[in-house]
Chain A
Amino acid sequence: MGRYVLRRLLQLIPVFLGTTFIIYTLVWAIPVDPFAGKCGQRPCPPAYVAAMRAKFNLDDNLFVQYVKYLGRLFTGDFGQTFSGTDVSTLIANAYPITVRLAVVALVIEALVGMTAGVLTGLRKNGFADNLVLVATLMLISLPVFVTGYILRGLFGTPRGTSFVDLIVPGIVLGSLSMAYVSRLTRTSIAENRRADFVRTAIAKGLPTSRVVGVHLLRNSVIPVITFLGTDLGALMGGAIVTEGVFNIRGIGGLVFTNIQQQQGVVVTGVVTLLVLVYLVMSLVVDLLYAVLDPRIRYE
């Protein structure tokens, strides 16, 4: 187990180097001078442009730029935006909000989705099953911004960034996955209901709650956990649409505006962080398998 974790962690290094280099290259490969349109209809003063180009090493070749950037990154310096704001400050402002939103969305989708999944899985083709089927179909077919605009119209934009403030955006953000989770749980439960270990448990005379709650659910939940794990990784990458609709100043909007402004330093810094989060999340999910299902072992 320990060796497995170590191996997975070591794999992060090449992935980290590769992604940062690709992102850095892509952002700087945009064939436009980032200072061409910065001063509106007039060109910026040449002294300003020259100073900025020097500050951001824009006149070096790409490889030298990248190595310089990486060198600063290893000393914990994420660099600065063109406006002189530390990228680390931007991340520190935006990331807690995004994480809170992701957690709210995840809790909502896991609770509602799994409850609906268990209920429908146990009573296949009943009224509840059909109701959930129609409801999930609707959620899947509605684009996020539609649900977003409807709920914003009803509840307004959040007034703060606490967990409670973020419930409505969390519902919007989690609605699509909620539908998937309920479908996944339903299928998995329905399949395992006829499994030998469930029949044994029932035959032993265990109460239904224990049969469903422990024996059935625990063994049915693995695909759902996989889904939720990667989904949390994706949610923590920020949700451009939901954040935009509710004016939540999270990481998604930050990446989006900075791609538009060609602030390569910000984009690279944030996206690198997101890649790391995603990798760590998938590692955690893999380790969870072993906890849930003793048949799975990592050597």
Chain B
Amino acid sequence: MFIRKAALVSLPVAVALLAAGCGGGGGSTASSDNSDGTVTIYETEPQNPLTPGNINDAGGIKALDELWAGLVGYDPDTAKPYNLMADSITSSDAKVYDIKIKQGWKFHDGTTVKAKNFVDAWNYAAYGPNAQLNADFFSQIQGFSDVHPEDAKAQPTAKTMSGLKVLGDYEFQVTLSAPFSVFPTKIGYEGFDPMPDSFFTDPAGFAKKPIGNGPMKFVSQTANQDIKLTRFDGYQGQDAVHFKDLDLKIYSDLDTAYSDLQSGQLDFMEFMPPAALVGDKYKTDLQGRNLDAGLIDIDAVALPSYVPGYDNLDLRRAISLAIDRDTIIKQVLNNAYTPATSFFSAHLDGNTPNSCTYCKFDPTQAKALFAKSGFTGKLTIASNSDGGHKEAMTAICNSIAKTLGVPCDFVPQASFGQFRSMITSHQATGMVRSDWGADYPSIEDFLNPIFKTGASSNDAVYSNPKVDALLTQADSTADKDAAVKLYQQAEKLVEADLPKIPLWNEKGTGGYSSRLSAAKLSWKRQPDVSSFRLAPTS
């Protein structure tokens, strides 16, 4: 079903290519379609060695997405998951999953991708002493607590998770500790990629020359300068690339990268520098080669429940109604965002527009609710001040202060690290900026990590037993549509309590150079390299 959809999507691309006289899509070796050319894209230095278990930064993921192919891929236009390496993922109870993988896929070193490559990779990433950044992604698998005790000092009692079982060369079984219906979507995350046997004998050496199973293979990495990849001709997936070499060039300055993009020295950027966003300048600069991502994210401010006075529903509602989102987006945020009207991203299946009834600007009602709340004192919003956050948060404060007649201050934090440690140690003294970008495209990812009691990113320290119960019920509902309905009910309960105030969703703008004739930007703000087509050279 997913494959058919993807085929429909690729149709316009093919038409466009024919119209441009390129002589059709992949497989052609004629030199006129530039299929042996090099593409250079914007990159930031990866924060860890290039292995799926240990990469969670955007720069690293960009390289991983080409080097590896997971069980599940996401459609570049709709963000819907489709089976990439998986042949089928089946479950009757959302607890035990039977995963069959496609045969004939190879790693770049020529070895066949088998079920055990997945199982071994997951066990390695989850094992506590291996200290992998993505270990928590495996926490739902049965036996995780044995290999990864919650206390970092405790010794694990097992080396492998009991919930993973190899059933054959091309089939394995995953048993979760509790039912989780979104698991087939979640395993598209890069941390779930398979690892070749050579990785396990020498992980450190492997990281210097990673071997994956994706559309491109590793050529070289020069720390702090660039990463070079080249097309893997044995690749079987539908997201193969249509050029030969990919050069991921590391930039420390967006403006510099942007000037290179205009001159054709750089071919793709998933960010636009703020100066180019002013008055939509980038659209004229790039002559229509700009891209909208439809990012799956939400920006919000959390009202930590432990802050005195914030335990007042009328106050929280009054604050939300006092924020003039439209004007702030227009005047401060260069129109790079759309006002949030729900707790999800507008691009997600299951999102109901306007489900957040208090996410609008209504000064009269705001004033009335604020008077009713009886709040006295000062409001504050804390955030790290870099990356344009200072301007946005100050604008929100001004909007609140103007509407409610209450003093509101922006509290700057020196760095993101300092800001986050203030939140995780529950030492905020007012509202805090609390943004969220999805790990995988599902409304579940906007609820469980944020609103469940004790969840990893529950910045508001929100706890509602009814919400917890509904989320657990939704997780264990195998039927997708029924699960979505339950998640939506949970959103309604959250909306009634308003522990976090949704602000806006970022659009995500990027662009490509005149050397390319087609390119796409994905929902997680990454280039969709398989959609890149080099423009014919005249």
Contact = CB atoms under 8 A, between A and B. Distances in A.
Interface in A253-295: 253-254, 256-257, 260, 262
Contacts of A84: 48-49, 204, 207
- Interface hub of B153, B259, B434, B435 (most chain A Cβ within 10 A): B259
B224 A93 contact: yes
Nearest to B424: A43
Interface in A218-238: none
Contacts of B421: 32-33, 36-37
B252 A247 contact: yes
Interface stretch (A47-55, A71-79, A101-109, A195-203): A47-55
Interface in B249-299: 250-253, 256-257, 259-260, 263, 265
B70 interface: no
Interface in B412-433: 414-421, 424
A93 B256 contact: no
A83 B49 CA distance: 6
B449 A42 contact: yes
B224 A94 contact: yes
B128 interface: yes
B47 interface: yes
B223 A85 contact: yes
A83 B435 CA distance: 25
A47 B129 contact: yes
A244 B253 contact: yes
A39 B456 CA distance: 11
Given A32-B418, A249-B250, A254-B224, A47 B152 contact: yes
Contacts of A47: 128-129, 131, 135, 148, 152
B75 to A, nearest CB: 24
Nearest to A55: B131
Contact of A48 (B133, B250, B257, B415): B133
Contacts of A157: 256, 259-260, 265
B417 A45 contact: no
Interface string B151-192: 111000000000000000000000000000000000000000
B103 interface: no
Contacts of A51: 129, 131
Contacts of A260: 415
A188 to B, nearest CB: 38
Interface string B24-45: 0000000000000000000001
Nearest to A85: B223
A221 B133 CA distance: 58
Given A37-B417, A47-B128, A245 B223 contact: no
B489 interface: no
A159 interface: yes
A118 to B, nearest CB: 37
B420 A257 contact: no
Interface in B103-149: 128-129, 131-133, 135-136, 148
Interface of B, helix, strand, loop or mixed by DSSP: loop
A244 B223 contact: no
Contacts of A257: 45, 252
Contact of A52 (B131, B257, B265, B420): B131
B457 interface: yes
Contact of A247 (B136, B223, B256, B456): B256
A133 to B, nearest CB: 33
A44 interface: yes
Nearest to B44: A257
B252 A43 contact: no
A38 interface: yes
B420 A247 contact: no
B347 to A, nearest CB: 19
A40 B423 CA distance: 12
- Interface hub of B46, B207, B224 (most chain A Cβ within 10 A): B224
B354 interface: no
Contacts of A32: 414-415, 417-418, 421
Interface string B69-99: 0000000000000000000000000000000
Query: 9 closest A-B pairs (Cβ-Cβ)?
Result: A51-B131, A37-B417, A36-B421, A50-B152, A46-B152, A37-B416, A36-B417, A47-B128, A42-B456
Given A32-B417, A245-B253, A257-B45, 10 more contacts: A32-B421, A37-B421, A40-B437, A46-B150, A50-B153, A89-B223, A152-B259, A247-B251, A253-B224, A260-B415
22 contacts: A32-B421, A36-B420, A37-B419, A40-B437, A41-B420, A41-B437, A42-B136, A42-B449, A48-B131, A48-B135, A82-B48, A84-B49, A89-B223, A93-B222, A156-B259, A156-B260, A157-B259, A247-B253, A249-B225, A249-B250, A253-B224, A253-B252
